[in-house]
Structure 1
Amino acid sequence: MIINKVTLYSHAWNEMRSFYVDVLGFDLLSQTDDGFEIKAGESVLEIKKYHHKGKPFYHFAMNIPTNLFTSAKAWAKSKVELTREDDDDEVYFSFSDAHSFYFLDPSGNIVGFISRYSVSPESEAKSFSAQNVLCISEINITTDEVTVLGNQLINNGVPVRKGEAIREDGLNFMGEHEAGSFLLLGPRKRRWIFSDKESEIFPLSLVINQQLAISLDGEGLMELKKLKITKGKD
């Protein structure tokens, strides 16, 4: 599964644009009075203004080259404070064979940078920059209807990682392990690691495999729409 685009909402739109473009150095693809888009490797991250009460936050992660984890961590620490868990500012996931570190952006999103050693490539770059990001690799889908939404995703070609069963009260990695990108499907009130934040329901939308548009409303209900693939002319 490839996550082509993710659209999130923010109460701190101006600060988010400055953070991602001016501080972190991501390429700005477009900007309107209502939002902006940045290039995250093969993916697009769109941040739109939130016109309602509340302060939306999400967990998302980006894949980075396997040989640039140490460089990426040093790069991030020069720009933002990394969050910690049990006094560590990085974690190794043995099940996924991956290293990750985390930080918070101006909207309070829990942002992860991940090197997945079994699936992500190396880079010829000697040091890390935002242009070395490979893709958006994780985005949360938080709902009170975990099993219902999980089955909807499965029926639309998004399996649970390694054929695992859907857990109503746990975090489900939806997507093929070999592709290294996942939708993190889970309930509210789960604490996100490397933060003191608990998962909550906020609207979001995304496109995967250039074939399926997924949107989540403020109540945690999901709509899926298959997209028409436009073939180029000979």
Structure 2
Amino acid sequence: MHIQKVVLHTAHLEELYTFYTQQLQLPLIEKSATYFSICAGETTLIFTQSTTGQPFYHYAFDIPSTQFDEAKTWIQQRVPLLTEKGEDEVYFATIDAKSLYFEDPAGNIVEFIARLHANEGHTAPFSEASILRMSEMSLVVADKVAAAKQLEDVQVVPRNGDRVDPDGGLYFLTQQNMPIYLLLVSPFRRWFFSTKEALIFPQSIYLKDGTKIDIDEQHKLHVTKPLLL
């Protein structure tokens, strides 16, 4: 699975534009009065003006496996890191990865994750050009079991064959067990490294195979199959 493009809503369009294009210096693709798009490695990220509420999301970007410490220094020069139990980074032993977290001006919880078993071969100093791709995108839904069934139709399934339980926590869904995930979660679960609880907001996720996944203004999930499926 590859996340090709994501469209997120925001009540802080200009603040996000400044943050992502000036503080983080991610390449601008396009800008209008109601949206802008940026390049984050292999992924296009689009922010569009929200008509209601204060949307926020959680998403993660892969960074080179050998550059976690460099990336941490780089991001700390631009934005404070979030903490969990006094720590500003975490090691996930089950997937051999290290992560750090920060918030953007809209309250999006952004993660940099270095998957230590990978070997991307980057030798240049860490910069905005070192960001590889969006590798995790939150998908907050009212009914995780029903959502999992919809996503199964496009071969997006729980990692390691996990069974989605309505009373369970966070589920990592992917295709062909690749390390790129949709994070399926119910409302009001606290996001790791944040005091915020997950809430449902409109969004669109475009996968490289042509699959499109939407949550609309009424919080309904729509999954559109690619033509070849």
Question: Take 1:161 and 1:226, find their aligned partners in 2: how far apart are those partners?
Answer: 20
Match of 2:41 in 1: 41
Paired residues of 1:64 and 1:120 also in contact (CA < 8 A): no
Match of 1:226 in 2: 225
Paired residues of 1:145 and 1:220 also in contact (CA < 8 A): no
2:171 is the alignment partner of 1:183: no
Give, in angstroms, the shift of residue 227 of structure 1: 3.6
What value does the CA root-mean-square deviation take over the aligned residues?
Answer: 1.4
Match of 1:149 in 2: 147
Larger deviation, residues 168-177 vs 144-153: 168-177
Match of 2:138 in 1: 140
Match of 2:90 in 1: 91
Question: Take 1:168 and 1:119, find their aligned partners in 2: how far apart are those partners?
Answer: 33
CA deviation digits over 1:109-137, x for unaligned, max 9?
A: 00000001234623121x21111111001
Stretches of structure 2 lacking an aligned partner (at least 5 in a row): none
Larger deviation, residues 64-73 vs 217-226: 217-226
Give, in angstroms, the shift of residue 228 of structure 1: 4.4
Question: Take 1:61 and 1:120, find their aligned partners in 2: how far apart are those partners?
Answer: 18
Output aligned runs, 1:18-97, within 5 Å.
Answer: 18-52=18-52, 54-97=53-96
Larger deviation, residues 214-223 vs 98-107: 214-223
Paired residues of 1:119 and 1:178 also in contact (CA < 8 A): no
Give, in angstroms, the shift of residue 216 of structure 1: 0.6
Larger deviation, residues 21-30 vs 151-160: 151-160
Question: Take 1:60 and 1:130, find their aligned partners in 2: how far apart are those partners?
Answer: 16
Paired residues of 1:205 and 1:213 also in contact (CA < 8 A): yes
Q: Closer, same or farther in 2 for the Cα pair 1:195/1:177, shift >3 Å?
A: farther
CA deviation digits over 1:44-82, x for unaligned, max 9?
A: 110001012x10000001001101111000000000000
Report runs of 4+ in structure 1 exceeding 3 Å deviation.
none
User: Quick one: which amino acid aligns to residue 136 of structure 2?
Assistant: E
SS in structure 1 at match of 2:73: helix
2:100 is the alignment partner of 1:101: yes
CA deviation digits over 1:173-226, x for unaligned, max 9?
A: 001485221000010000001110000000000101231011012343211112
Match of 1:216 in 2: 215
Give, in angstroms, the shift of residue 97 of structure 1: 1.1
Paired residues of 1:162 and 1:177 also in contact (CA < 8 A): no
Q: How many residues align?
A: 227
Stretches of structure 1 lacking an aligned partner (at least 5 in a row): 230-234
Normalized against structure 2, the TM-score is what? 0.95
Question: Take 1:95 and 1:147, find their aligned partners in 2: how far apart are those partners?
Answer: 24
Match of 1:162 in 2: 160
User: Quick one: which amino acid aligns to residue 156 of structure 2?
Assistant: V
Question: Take 2:92 and 2:130, find their aligned partners in 1: how far apart are those partners?
Answer: 22
Question: Take 1:177 and 1:89, find their aligned partners in 2: how far apart are those partners?
Answer: 32
Question: Take 1:157 and 1:9, find their aligned partners in 2: how far apart are those partners?
Answer: 26
Q: Closer, same or farther in 2 for the Cα pair 1:22/1:197, shift >3 Å?
A: same
